Amino acid sequence: MYKADPHSPKSGGASATSLPPHLTTSLKRGVQATKHMAELLEKHQQIVDDLLKVRRGETGRESEEEIELNVGGRVLAAPKRPLLLQSPPVRDSFIAHILLYYLDSLPKDSKGRPFLDADPVYMDWLFDELATAGAAELRGEKHKIELVAPHDRDTSSLFYHELLFTNKTNIAKLLREYEEAEEELHNAATAAKERHVDTKGGPGGGKSSPVIEMKTHQARAMDALEALLEVEHGLKKFYRTISPFLKTWSADENSVKSVRILTKTVSTTEATLRLIGRDKHLYTAFHNNESKIGKMSSADLLKLVDFCRRQRLAAPGTAVKPPKTAGQLPNHAKIQGLTLGSAYGPLMWEDELQDIIEMAGKDNTVKATLVFKATRDGFGYGTMLGCVGPERYGLVLVLMEEGGTHRFGCFIDGPLVPPQPQPQPQPQEEANQGEANQGEANQEEANQEEAKQEEANQEDDTEEQPQADTNNNNNTEMPALAARELQKEDDLMPYRYPVPLFLFSLSGAYDEPTKVDIPQEIQDISVSAPGSELPRSGSPSVKAIDMDYSGNLSIARGNLWLGWATPGPAIDMSSCQCWVRLEHLPDGYKGLGVFSDTADAQVGSLASNIECKLAEIEVYHVIRPRPGHAG
């Protein structure tokens, strides 16, 4: 039973009825989506007009025969006219849009050429196929572009062909759909207004039941909203796919790095190299041109770099296949610190990461950088602590369950500080108060000098301790040193400290990124010391209260556990437990509720089940703009 609208006048004993709550929410979100999509489409209206003009031959662009660009270290020429072909369907491919309308948005190499961070072997083949298709069209013939041997069995070629050529977009079609949806929404609002005026006529004023009319207008409004969602989905798919190829907010990540082997050059972006890991030999080789490349061939180096590149370009939750191992490739990969197994790219789209930053109430100029990735750095708890460090404030912990359907995590507005043994004060030598011979005086002088040096060393150690972040702007009064002061007498005992945090779901439990607020009284973290996952390490794990299980890390009073097991802890962090009281889960939750003896309440999970196995873990560090800086 829905509440009557108090602002609608009664007519003939019947009252006009307001929209039900779920439709009211949808309508509001639809209006917001309309405004947002209008802004996006206005920005690209000129692109659509230009595209149509080019197809009609009104811009003169057809006179430009080639587009020269650097692809993965190889300078290639892409034929321009074939990019406009409708048959074969080239003009709506993602690669056509990138080369025709986003060329200036690509990073630049040292010669100022546009740089496309992709496999040059595949792109060289594709450009040849485009030229062949263009020549066939001039003869009145058609040429089908499809992968053939050996490309049809090559993991890189299959990846890029699906990503850049098979993927199609049609911005002009999206524009028409948007305009039609906007008109439907406008008509629904106009009809509702007319109904409101019509009911003022009294018992004889209305021709039909206001409830029936309302339902009709609701249906029209919902149709319009569904059309808007389709438009949004199409645009998101396009921009999410091409954005990794374009310049980022960080000028450093846009820089192109190269290594030359004999007569061949292999190039990629700093963004790809950082995903490899700064501690890897391959990363340092591209920055210092070290001899760690050894006797590797340019072909093997290209395969290793492209494997890492494809991880950066892949959609979240997608397993990236390694190149086929042959010859010395496995040995070369091991030397470079890489593992040739299926891997995952970043767990979030850029817009999803920005959603989480906005959920945290941070300025839209705030960005985040990846500091830990389990499939790259290892699932070990101590490894994660070492990569994150106790000095970083503002952490985004992202988890993906095996299967890739459920992605979720936690935003921690503070540091992650493990308990550490405190240095014991060193006894200093007392000055000899009695009379002594010259030899004893010399010994005393030496002892005093040693004491001074020891004191200086202690001062140096103190200076090296992590300091509180003076630019955090987050009301977090838990600097690293203060957190350590909460330790129990045993330095290696786990301890709990308060820190502002919230959970979130990216996919699986909800259809869209959703913030899950946690009561303030349980916004805390329980942290065990490094090595707590190792048998006989002497470092106790975090124990559950009155339960026979434990883990390495407990967040929000046990709402989220990493390294969880019975009796525990698990050998690594891939073992996870996640539960949230149903009363704390926002509307739209798609999972099932179960009764938990631990919580003594009905609970749900942001994973597919309360207990799950993680395929990937990532930690991002939120970068706050310094005073006078934008990012």
Sign of CA dihedral 468, 470, 473, 477: positive
- 423: exposed, middle or buried (C-beta count within 10 Å: 0-12, 13-18, 19+)? exposed
The first and second tokens of residue 221, run together, are 């409004």
Q: Is the confidence at residue 151, as pLDDT, over 50?
A: yes
Sign of CA dihedral 587, 590, 593, 596: negative
Alpha-carbon gap, residue 624 to 626, rounded angstroms: 6
Radius of gyration of the chain from Cα atoms?
A: 31
pLDDT of residue 53: 45
pLDDT digits (tens, 9 = 90+) for 491-520: 566 678 899 999 999 999 999 999 999 999
The first and second tokens of residue 629, run together, are 């800086």
Q: Where are the alpha helices (DSSP H) in 277-380?
A: 281-288, 298-313, 329-335, 350-359, 374-377
Would you say 261 and 293 are in contact if contact means Cβ atoms under 8 Å apart? Answer: yes
Query: Per mean pLDDT, which of 336-345, 361-370, 581-590 is the most reliable?
Result: 581-590
**What percent of the chain is predicted at pLDDT more than 70?**
64
pLDDT of residue 406: 95
- Give the largest Cα separation in the chain, rounded: 123
Looking at per-residue confidence, does 27 or 119 come out higher?
A: 119
pLDDT band at 136 (very low <50, low <70, confident <90, very high): very high
pLDDT band at 475 (very low <50, low <70, confident <90, very high): very low
- Find out whether the peptide bond into 569 is cis, omega within 30 degrees of 0: yes
Measured CA angle at 630 (ends 625, 631), to 5 deg: 55
For residue 226, give the nearest of 30, 501, 442 by alpha carbon: 30
Tokens 């005086």 -> residue: 441
Looking at per-residue confidence, does 478 or 392 come out higher?
A: 392
pLDDT band at 161 (very low <50, low <70, confident <90, very high): very high
pLDDT of residue 55: 37
pLDDT of residue 530: 75
Where is average pLDDT lowest: 391-405, 499-513, 529-543, 572-586? 529-543
Where is average pLDDT lowest: 218-222, 237-241, 320-324, 397-401? 218-222
pLDDT band at 298 (very low <50, low <70, confident <90, very high): confident
The first and second tokens of residue 219, run together, are 């249906």
Would you say 407 and 507 are in contact if contact means Cβ atoms under 8 Å apart? Answer: yes
Query: Per mean pLDDT, which of 310-314, 315-319, 436-440, 489-493 is the most reliable?
Result: 310-314
C-alpha 234: how far from chain center = 20
Mean pLDDT (whole number) for 448-468: 38
Mean pLDDT (whole number) for 346-367: 88
pLDDT of residue 7: 35
Q: Is the confidence at residue 121, as pLDDT, over 80?
A: yes
Would you say 627 and 365 are in contact if contact means Cβ atoms under 8 Å apart? Answer: no
Q: Is the confidence at residue 408, as pLDDT, over 90?
A: yes
pLDDT of residue 118: 97
Sign of CA dihedral 135, 140, 146, 148: negative
Would you say 577 and 557 are in contact if contact means Cβ atoms under 8 Å apart? Answer: no
pLDDT of residue 14: 35
pLDDT digits (tens, 9 = 90+) for 21-69: 444 444 455 445 445 544 544 444 444 444 344 333 343 444 458 999 9
Average pLDDT of every residue of the chain: 75
Mean pLDDT (whole number) for 237-260: 88
- Please provide residue 131's backbone torsions phi and psi, each rounded to the nearest 5 degrees: -60, -40
pLDDT of residue 145: 93
- Find out whether the peptide bond into 567 is cis, omega within 30 degrees of 0: yes
pLDDT band at 437 (very low <50, low <70, confident <90, very high): very low
For residue 397, give the nearest of 209, 614, 139, 612 by alpha carbon: 614
Q: Is the confidence at residue 564, as pLDDT, over 80?
A: yes
Mean pLDDT (whole number) for 430-448: 47
pLDDT of residue 154: 92
- Find out whether the peptide bond into 415 is cis, omega within 30 degrees of 0: no
Mean pLDDT (whole number) for 3-21: 37
pLDDT of residue 8: 33
Would you say 515 and 587 are in contact if contact means Cβ atoms under 8 Å apart? Answer: no
